[in-house]
Amino acid sequence: MASYYPMVKNSAQRIVFPILDADGDPVTGAAGDTPDSEYSLDGASFIDCSDEIHEIATSSGVYYLDLLAGETNGDVVCIQVKTATATTKTTVLVFYTSAQSLDTVDGVCDSILTESQSHPTLAEIEGSSVLAMEASLTAIKGSGFDTGTDSLVKLHDDHVTHITAAPSTHAAADVWSAAGRELSTPANYKADVSNLDQAISTTESNIRGGSETLDTIKSAVSGIQNNTRFTAAVPKYMCKPDAGDEAFKWSANLYDTNGNMEDPDDSEIIVRVTQDNGTYLYNLYKEVALTNLLDNATDTTTWPPASGWRALERTDVGRYFAFYKCANDATEETLTVEFGWEEGGTEGYQTRSTEVADVHGDLTALLSDTNAIKTATDKLTFNAANMLQSDVREVNDGAVAGVNDFKADVSSLALEATLTDIKGSGFATATDSLVKIHDDHVTYLSAAPSTHSAADVWTTGSRELSTPANYKADVSNLDVAVSTRSSHTAANVWAVGTRTLTDKAGFTLSAAGIDSIVDEVIEGTITLRQAIRLTLSMLAGKSSGGGTTSLVYRDYGDSKDRLTFTVDANGNRTAVTRDVS
């Protein structure tokens, strides 16, 4: 059975826990001594679990309990385990459930990351041809562009007018006298690499010369005989506990040139922890119980080098450790961890870092954000190549009328506005496209210029519709004026704002109306009709069993046992059987 963190609501779970005695020591054998495992959901009464506890291994004092899905179907799940074993304390466990486990959240986040990485970045979009096209079109429009004078339609009209002039007599040779051009001074474009050899030689000399030459460094490294390799394990993150303190183990190891574990000459590795503000921390301990602090580093003339150092605990040759105490109210910050040792008069240092983080406090917000993302993306599907799939017919307002339904509204985009300005009002591809303008120019330039005047093209200054009556609305079926349809005013129809019945005599509820009242549920599943039957039995029905532990009350018609009470010696009811039919 899988285990999850946090507990997933309404899912089968296995929980593991110790059973302790009054001294806090684990108790063995509790699984075989009349155990009683119960659960409560959201503060409701405790109910027996379907399973009972099982002890792990032999006499471990640690047990597990398998819970069914229904036994975790609450926001707050409380488990209590009792046993007849002497001195055993009742074990109480409280779980705050979640809709998803961290594994599920991690999987969703990984899928979102994978999908998002397949999308173009802002830099890629900014470098795309769309933005380049926008820049090109803006350049084509030019400064001071006016749709009224500079659009393609206006350009076409102006060309029709201007082609009446005589064509140019210049030949191509007048414009471009040769078939090709070459740079007159190509040498100016060559890179100057004349000093490259000298620069390389100088750099090599600088590396080999000086006080810290390669040979000097090589000699110093060769002089180190032992402990040439140091390793340290410090967790990247230390999560603050919800309450109390948490112990985190740090370890350090030293190796000689042959890879064997070896102590430094003074058998001491020291450690120092520094906060962001430069303050040293000393909450380093010798054991996981966090009882005994580390000893101060050995005080000698030259070692340790400065204040704040503590000596790690030694477990074996070359192996050292310490436990760091992280309190629930610790500051969230990055700590600098320095290690130092001395070998043959040579000091060695290495630095690690670890971050104190409040993971528990951020979990709820993380789950909330992740669930919101999951809700927004649950309907997305992906093919075998992890490409997004969609069915364009799955729209809320029914069948798709055509491909135009899926065109994006780009009317507000600068690119669209620019193209609209260039096209001009009344643009038609058949007459105003660049190809048509080019073809017309070729045709017009080869023909004789027009001799028509403006009066030939348009004989009058204005035009009017010749049959305006055709555009009037047809109202022939209105036989009289609308105002003559009724002579009543609003005051005639309703003289005042409210009305009150003056005579209520004769108004009674129907049988159906009465039934709807008495069949209304008033408490739990009991209706008013059923409550009346129970009350009538208690007040007016026959009874039997007085003085015994079972009292029976008959219905009013004496046809059945309406109420049966089980009572104790004091007359307190311990069980009630009702027949409300």
Q: What is the pLDDT of residues 463-474, one digit of tens each?
A: 555 666 666 766
- The mean pLDDT of 178-186, rounded to a whole number, is 53
Q: What is the residue-averaged pLDDT of the chain?
A: 79
Tokens 């992906």: give the residue.
Answer: 382
* Percent composition of the chain: helix, strand, coil (DSSP 3-state, to 5): 30, 25, 45
Give me the mean pLDDT over the 229-241 stretch: 91
Please compute the mean of the pLDDT values over residues 302-311 and round it to a whole number.
78
Question: Average pLDDT, stretch 218-226?
Answer: 49
Q: What is the 3-state secondary structure (H, E, C) of 298-331?
A: CCCCCCCCCCCCEECEEEECCEEEEEEEEECCCC
Domain spanning 229-357: which CATH class is it, in words?
A: mainly beta
Lookup: tokens for 193: 């690499």
Predicted confidence (pLDDT) at residue 175 exceeds the cutoff of 60: no
**Most confidently modeled range among 190-199, 394-403, 434-443, 561-570:** 561-570
Q: In CATH, what is the architecture of 13-98?
A: Sandwich (2.60)
| CA atoms of 521 and 280, how far apart (whole Å) | 69
- Please tell me which residue, 133 or 345, carries the higher pLDDT value: 345
pLDDT at 496 over 80: no
Reference 440, options 450, 452, 432; nearest CA is 432
Distance CA 347, CA 226 (A): 12
User: Is the pLDDT score of 135 beyond 90?
Assistant: no
What's the rounded mean pLDDT across residues 376-380? 74
**What pLDDT is stored for residue 258 in this prediction?**
83
- Give the residues across from 402 on adjacent strands: none
Rounded mean pLDDT, 448-470 = 59
Contact assessment for residue 356 and residue 278, using Cβ atoms and an 8 Å cutoff: no
Give 25-83 as a DSSP string: -B--SGGGS--EEEEEETTPPPEE-SS--EE-TTT-SEEEEEE-GGGG-SSEEEEEEE-
Q: Domain limits of the chain? A: 13-98, 101-118+362-390, 229-357, 410-444, 511-578
In tens, the pLDDT along 28-81 reads 999 988 999 999 999 999 999 999 999 998 789 999 999 999 999 999 999 999
Let me know if the fold of 13-98 is the same as that of 229-357.
Answer: yes
In which element (H, E) is residue 577 found? strand 573-578
Q: What is the DSSP track for 333-371?
A: -EEEEEEEEEETTEEEEEEEEEEEE-HHHHHHHHHHHHH
pLDDT, tens only, 188-214: 656 566 665 665 566 556 555 555 555
Q: How far apart are CA 345 and CA 265, in angstroms?
A: 9
Cβ proximity of 98 and 40 under 8 Å: no
> In this predicted model, what pLDDT tens digit does every residue of 316-347 receive, in sequence order?
999 999 999 999 999 999 999 999 988 777 88
Strands 76-82 and 91-96 turn out to be antiparallel
**Predicted pLDDT of residue 50:** 95
User: φ and ψ at 161, to 5 degrees?
Assistant: -70, -45
**pLDDT tens track for 143-162:** 788 888 887 778 777 777 76
DSSP assignment of 234-273 equals: --SEEEPPSSSEEEEEEEEEEE-TTS-B---TTS--EEEE
Number of residues that this document lists for the chain: 581
Look at residue 417 in the predicted model and tell me its pLDDT.
75
Distances (CA, A) of 216 to 207, 264, 306, 488, 581: 11, 24, 28, 117, 105
The more confident residue out of 431 and 458 is 431
Q: What percent of the chain has pLDDT over 90?
A: 37
* pLDDT higher at 492 or 210: 492
